[in-house]
């Protein structure tokens, strides 16, 4: 009974928050539009309900654009994950390898990759390839660093046990190190997934023919305010959705990680 009432209370808190934010949004838009008479009001902050209406009326168009952007982000994401994962294993196997690679791994993050987008585009001269390269570049770092810290965090007593079974290195990785590092890998993927979507959207915007970024640019320059705001909301949702896809995958493949937290 008590538990139920606590749950209900939490639902009320959430509901109040959401209603308050929508109300504030509407109030802000109203102030801009009707009180301050800002001619740019619909562009600066449109009414909440008009954004929702925009989302509904452009739903089909935005949805197909979203799928295009996702599918391109996915390839880069997968390649980046594979590269990061193998780099982490290499670094965990060899101290020298770690000494060589780790400083560059950190330094690589100081190079603003997304800022590199135009340069990468001129290098590979192909939208899709540059998208893949950027998404992969963004993905590999959090994956490599998180997986490595997972592989290094394996309980030494568990390693001792494996040693006492006279297990070889491949067996130790398969049975102990990799399952142990799986939650760490997913922590990296959770960071990387929304980033790779952002990368894909950015490349859309630099001059692609389809995708959500194109919708954004098109509406921006075409003065289609409703479509623009709907596309922005869609972009935000895409980042969130990619995050929750990784969370769902984690629950399937690493069920013990959640149990431990609970």
Partner 1 sequence: MSTTEQAALHTGHTSTAAPRNEIRIEDLTVQFPDNKGGEPVVALSNVSLDIRRGEFISLVGPSGCGKTTLLRAIADLQQPTSGRIIVRGLFPREIRMQKKYGIVFQSPVLYDWRTVRRNVCMPMEIMGIPKKQRTATVTEMLELVGLYNFGTKYPHELSGGMQQRVGIARALAVKPEILLMDEPFSALDEFTKEKLQEDLLTIWEKTQKTIVFVTHSISEAVFLSDRVVVLSPHPGRLSAVVDIDLPRPRSLQTKQMPEFYEYVNKIRNSFEGV
Partner 2 sequence: MTAGKAGKVLWPLAVGVAFLAVWQLGGIHALLHFKPFQLPVPLTILETVIDNLPKMLSDTWITASGALTGMIIGSLLGFLVAVIATMFPKWGYPGLTLVSLFNAIPIVALSPIMNRWFDDGFGQKVGVVTVVCMATMAINSYRGLNDLRPFTLDLMDSYAAPGSAKFFKLRLPNSLPSIFTALKINIANGLIAAMISEYFASSTAGLGFSIKDNLRKAMMAKGWSCIVMAALVGMLLYSVLTLVERRAVKWHASQNK
36 binds, among partner 2, partner 1, none (CB under 5 to 8 A by kind): none
254 binds, among partner 2, partner 1, none (CB under 5 to 8 A by kind): partner 1
> Shortest gap between Cβ of 169 and partner 1 (angstroms)?
12
The answer to whether 146 touches 187, Cβ cutoff 8 Å, is: yes
Told to check if 109 binds partner 2 by CB under 8 A, we report yes
Enumerate binding residues for partner 1 (CB under 8 A).
155, 157-158, 160-167, 171, 175-176, 179-180, 182, 254-256, 259-260
Based on CB atoms, which residue is closest to partner 1, 6 or 251? 251
Assigned token pair, 99? 């000494």
Spatial distance between the Cα atoms of 68 and 195, rounded to a whole number of angstroms = 16
Spatial distance between the Cα atoms of 36 and 189, rounded to a whole number of angstroms = 45
Task: Say how many CA atoms lie within 13 Å of 63 toward its Cβ.
Answer: 6
> Shortest gap between Cβ of 194 and partner 2 (angstroms)?
6
Spatial distance between the Cα atoms of 33 and 26, rounded to a whole number of angstroms = 10
Told to check if 87 binds partner 2 by CB under 8 A, we report no
> Shortest gap between Cβ of 239 and partner 2 (angstroms)?
4
SS3 content of the chain, % helix, strand, coil (to 5): 85, 0, 15
Stretch that binds partner 2, among 23-31, 73-81, 84-92, 213-221 (CB under 8 A): 213-221
Count of other CB atoms within 10 angstroms of residue 61: 14
User: Is residue 29 exposed (0-12), middle (13-18) or buried (19+ Cβ within 10 Å)?
Assistant: buried
Based on CB atoms, which residue is closest to partner 2, 244 or 256? 244
Spatial distance between the Cα atoms of 198 and 117, rounded to a whole number of angstroms = 12
Based on CB atoms, which residue is closest to partner 1, 4 or 259? 259
> Shortest gap between Cβ of 162 and partner 1 (angstroms)?
7
Stretch that binds partner 2, among 109-117, 157-165, 167-175, 181-189 (CB under 8 A): 109-117
Specify the DSSP element, H or E, that contains 153.
Answer: none
> Shortest gap between Cβ of 149 and partner 1 (angstroms)?
17
58 CA to centre of own chain: 24
Q: Which of residues 2-31 bind partner 2 (CB under 8 A)?
A: 9, 13-14, 17, 21
The answer to whether 234 touches 212, Cβ cutoff 8 Å, is: yes
Spatial distance between the Cα atoms of 259 and 262, rounded to a whole number of angstroms = 5
One of 62, 216, 230, 246 touching partner 2 (CB under 8 A): 216
Site for partner 2, rule CB under 8 A: 9, 13-14, 17, 21, 40, 43-44, 96, 99-104, 106-107, 109-116, 118-119, 122-123, 194, 197-198, 201-202, 205, 213, 216, 220, 228, 231-232, 235-240, 243
């Amino acid at each position: 009974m008590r538990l139920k009432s606590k749950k209900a209370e939490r639902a009320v808190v959430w509901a109040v928050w959401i209603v308050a934010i929508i109300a504030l949004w509407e109030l802000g838009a109203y102030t801009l539009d009707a009180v301050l008479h800002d001619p740019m009001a619909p562009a600066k902050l449109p009414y909440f309900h008009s954004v929702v209406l925009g989302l509904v009326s452009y739903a089909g168009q935005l949805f197909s654009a979203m799928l295009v952007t996702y599918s391109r982000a996915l390839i880069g994401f997968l390649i980046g994950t594979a590269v990061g994962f193998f780099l982490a294993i290499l670094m965990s196997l060899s101290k020298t390898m770690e000494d060589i690679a780790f400083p560059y791994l950190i330094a690589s993050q100081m190079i603003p990759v997304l800022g590199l987008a135009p340069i990468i585009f001129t290098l590979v001269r192909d939208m899709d390839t540059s998208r893949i390269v950027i998404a992969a570049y963004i993905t590999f770092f959090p994956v490599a660093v998180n997986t490595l810290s997972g592989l290094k965090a394996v309980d030494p007593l568990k390693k001792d046990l494996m040693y006492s079974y006279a297990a070889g290195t491949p067996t130790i990785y398969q049975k102990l190190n990799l399952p142990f590092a799986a939650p760490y890998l997913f922590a990296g993927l959770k960071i990387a997934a929304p980033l790779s979507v952002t990368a894909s959207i950015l490349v859309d915007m630099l001059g692609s023919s389809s995708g959500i970024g194109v919708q954004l640019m098109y509406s921006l320059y075409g003065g289609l305010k409703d479509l623009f705001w709907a596309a922005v909301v869609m972009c935000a949702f895409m980042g969130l959705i990619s995050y929750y896809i990784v969370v769902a995958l984690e629950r399937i493949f690493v069920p013990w990680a959640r149990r431990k937290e609970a």
